[in-house]
Amino acid sequence: MAIINRATKELQLKIVYYGPAKSGKTTNLEQVHANVQVPDSAPKGKMTSLATSSDRTLFFDFFPLEATTIKGFKTKFSLFTVPGQVIYNATRQIVLRGVDGIVFVADSQYEKMGENIETFGHMTDNLKSLNLNLEDIPYVIQYNKRDTEDAAPVEYLEYVLNNREVHVPYFEGVANKCEGVFETLNMITKMLIHKYLNK
């Protein structure tokens, strides 16, 4: 649900980074926040934390430097992470409300495969309870932690996590070194801009 502000001629799109605990969602957001290029006239928002007890939901807004004017509207992106632990499922559901695009940050390590699959399933369920279908929401997958010793081959991850009717773009990541972070973000923003341009 894109937010259209006719007074300021802004279109606001919400991107949620979803995935199991410790897969690197917060690291992705921190890297984007630290390194994203924005126009001088529109500084990026502060990284804001919506504190739950021990895990955090983070978000910030920015206007990309590159021209992203859609039908005369400037496009602002709001990036959110969800708390990783299953006990915060209520929060994760709230964060998904009004989502326009999703980055699913998977942990490449073999031992995390069960958690990856389970979290993907919970995400689909949480969307359903908000009357949203994954099929209608642009999303990409990031296979993060490619630098770890027991990282599964990408072909395996693709087979396990990207085997739905529509095969979505995926990226390999080493988020703490900012590898794959902007490739992932650029793709989801491109997909969203494409979607709203063609409306």
Ligand X SMILES: Nc1nc2c(ncn2[C@@H]2O[C@H](COP(=O)(O)OP(=O)(O)O)[C@@H](O)[C@H]2O)c(=O)[nH]1
Choices 5-13, 113-121, 173-181, 184-192 (CB under 6 A): range interacting with ligand X: 173-181
116 belongs to the binding site for ligand X (CB under 6 A): no
List the one residue out of 42, 50, 54, 48 whose CA is nearest residue 8.
42
Query: Looking at 2, 10, 21, 137, which residue binds ligand X (CB under 6 A)?
Result: 21
And the tokens for 47? Answer: 């990284």
Q: How far is CA 135 from CA 81, 100, 127, 189, in A?
A: 21, 12, 10, 17
> Cβ 74 to ligand X, closest distance in Å?
29
| CA separation for the pair 198, 177 (Å, rounded) | 35
- Beta-strand relationship, 101-107 and 10-18: parallel
- Beta-strand relationship, 170-172 and 69-70: unpaired
144 belongs to the binding site for ligand X (CB under 6 A): yes
Q: Whose structure tokens read 């699913």?
A: 104
> Cβ 55 to Mg ion, closest distance in Å?
7
Q: Contact letters (x/-) for Mg ion, 23-52, by CB under 5 A?
A: --xx--------------------------
84 belongs to the binding site for ligand X (CB under 6 A): yes
> Cβ 7 to ligand X, closest distance in Å?
35
175 belongs to the binding site for ligand X (CB under 6 A): yes
Query: Looking at 47, 89, 137, 147, which residue binds ligand X (CB under 6 A)?
Result: 147
Query: Looking at 14, 76, 112, 145, which residue binds ligand X (CB under 6 A)?
Result: 145
23 belongs to the binding site for ligand X (CB under 6 A): yes
Choices 14-22, 113-121, 156-164, 185-193 (CB under 6 A): range interacting with ligand X: 14-22
Question: By C-beta, is 56 or 195 nearer to Mg ion?
Answer: 56
Residues 150-174 as b or e (16 or more Cβ within 10 Å = b): ebbeeeebeeebbeeeeebbbbbbb
Element spanning 56, H or E: strand 56-62
Residue 194 · residue 100 · CB < 8 Å: no
The binding site for Mg ion (CB under 5 A) comprises 25-26
The binding site for ligand X (CB under 6 A) comprises 19, 21-27, 81, 84, 144-145, 147-148, 173-176
